[in-house]
């Protein structure tokens, strides 16, 4: 139930009767949890961006870890290992990007369970450079009354050097791209192209996925700007990246060129539309980092047809991840390791990395 904490006694009002659950609204807290706290953000009661600010970080982390365990158990996935957990070094001030809503001369966050925009003065989740940029955008909107945003959002992203980009940009003085350097590789990014949001866990996520991996050929599905593929190029003969966003492909090619990773090849395509014949070498390893909804049937069919010995599945949604891992288990892959990275403190989102292998039986 929103705005409650585990173990509390509350008064609640039912608001919806679903097929397998009843949704309710908190009326009052009768016996509060010892983990309950005052939210660090003054907008928390109204803003829909966060869901768990009202409980302490340790309790939040336990809740998010529980989401993964619950999803795995619900799908009855065979896994006998320990669930590893990597906490965020900072529970606030970690986001390198934001997507404030804009409409009717207002710029801010959407109100909880509403499309109404709340004009906020501060978001404690964002890095200071992002907040400074949002303040500039609000001032621009106040003075001009116009900030063309066809999607109803402004995409804002900061880099490691204090530079901030926005799309749409208020004027030509703002850069189109920013950069982050990880393990000696410079990654150029754009605010409207996907990139991981927790600036303090970029190295950890990349290392967990890539360290110790080697082989002949690797395939990176939904590969973005090369976040995983370019580091993998150091230990694989060839790496192929499949990415449908052509802006991400252009950035990825630039990142690979700058890193002198000549063995990385980008194919601009939807994963679902890819002909397996386009993959020149049988992959020893496939990295899968799909959207929140997980793998479509066609994307899974491609994965199964390529039949790698090893796979790493990166997910920000435990439910879709567990569903896909169950399909992989039925198709012959074994879940070997699960790592939870706490990429999104104050929210109910959680990043999980699953390691799978498929051992071929000699004929």
Does 15 score more than 70 pLDDT?
Answer: yes
Question: Domains of the chain: which residue ranges?
Answer: 1-36, 66-91+196-357, 97-180
Tokens of 92: 């606030």
The stretch 78-83 carries a mean pLDDT of: 90
Does 262 score more than 90 pLDDT?
Answer: yes
Whole-model pTM?
A: 0.93
Percentage of the residues of the chain whose pLDDT score is greater than 90: 79
In whole angstroms, how large is the CA radius of gyration of the chain? 22
Q: What is the enclosing helix (H) or strand (E) of 186?
A: strand 185-189
Task: State the pairing for strand pair 264-268/310-315.
Answer: unpaired
Q: What does each C-alpha distance from 72 to 186, 233, 249, 308, 347 come to in angstroms?
A: 36, 32, 33, 23, 20
Does 244 score more than 60 pLDDT?
Answer: yes
Higher pLDDT, 151 or 75: 75
pLDDT tens sequence across 208-228: 999 999 999 999 999 999 999
pLDDT tens sequence across 117-169: 999 888 999 999 999 999 999 998 888 877 877 778 999 999 998 899 999 88
3-class state of residue 75 by DSSP: coil
Does 338 score more than 90 pLDDT?
Answer: yes
Superfamily of domain 66-91+196-357: Vaccinia Virus protein VP39 (3.40.50.150)
pLDDT tens sequence across 89-109: 999 999 999 999 998 888 999
- The answer to whether residues 44 and 53 touch, using CB atoms and an 8 Å cutoff, is yes
């Amino acid at each position: 139930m929103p705005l409650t904490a585990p173990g509390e006694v509350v008064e609640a009002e039912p608001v919806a009767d679903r097929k397998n659950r009843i949704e309710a609204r908190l009326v009052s807290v009768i016996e509060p949890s010892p983990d309950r706290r005052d939210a660090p953000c003054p907008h928390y009661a109204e803003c829909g961006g966060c869901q768990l600010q009202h409980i302490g970080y340790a309790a939040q982390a336990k809740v998010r870890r529980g989401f993964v365990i619950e999803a795995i158990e619900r799908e009855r996935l065979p896994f006998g290992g320990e669930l590893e957990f990597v906490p965020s070094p900072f529970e606030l001030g970690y986001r390198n990007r934001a997507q404030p809503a804009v409409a009717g001369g207002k710029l801010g966050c959407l109100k909880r369970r509403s499309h109404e925009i709340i004009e906020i003065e501060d978001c404690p989740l964002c890095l200071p450079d992002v907040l400074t940029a949002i303040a500039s955008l609000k001032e621009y909107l106040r003075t001009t009354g116009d900030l063309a945003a066809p999607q109803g959002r402004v995409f804002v992203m900061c880099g490691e050097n204090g530079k901030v980009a926005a799309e749409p940009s208020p004027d030509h003085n703002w850069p189109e791209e920013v950069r982050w350097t990880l393990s000696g590789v410079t990654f150029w990014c754009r605010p409207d192209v996907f990139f991981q949001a927790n600036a303090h866990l970029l190295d950890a996520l990349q290392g967990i996925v890539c360290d110790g991996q080697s082989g002949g050929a690797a395939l990176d599905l939904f590969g973005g700007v090369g976040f995983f593929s370019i580091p993998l190029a150091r230990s694989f003969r060839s790496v192929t990246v499949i990415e449908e966003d052509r802006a991400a492909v252009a950035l990825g090619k630039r990142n690979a060129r700058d890193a002198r990773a000549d063995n990385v090849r980008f194919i601009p395509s939807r994963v679902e539309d890819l002909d397996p014949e386009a993959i020149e070498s049988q992959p020893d390893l496939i990295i899968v980092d799909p959207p929140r909804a997980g793998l479509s049937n066609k994307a899974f069919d491609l994965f199964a047809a390529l039949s790698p010995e090893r796979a790493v599945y990166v997910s920000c949604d435990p439910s879709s991840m567990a569903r896909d891992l169950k399909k992989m288990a039925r198709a012959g892959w074994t879940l070997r390791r699960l790592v939870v990275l706490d990429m999104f403190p104050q929210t109910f989102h959680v990043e999980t990395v699953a390691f799978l292998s498929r051992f071929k039986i000699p004929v």
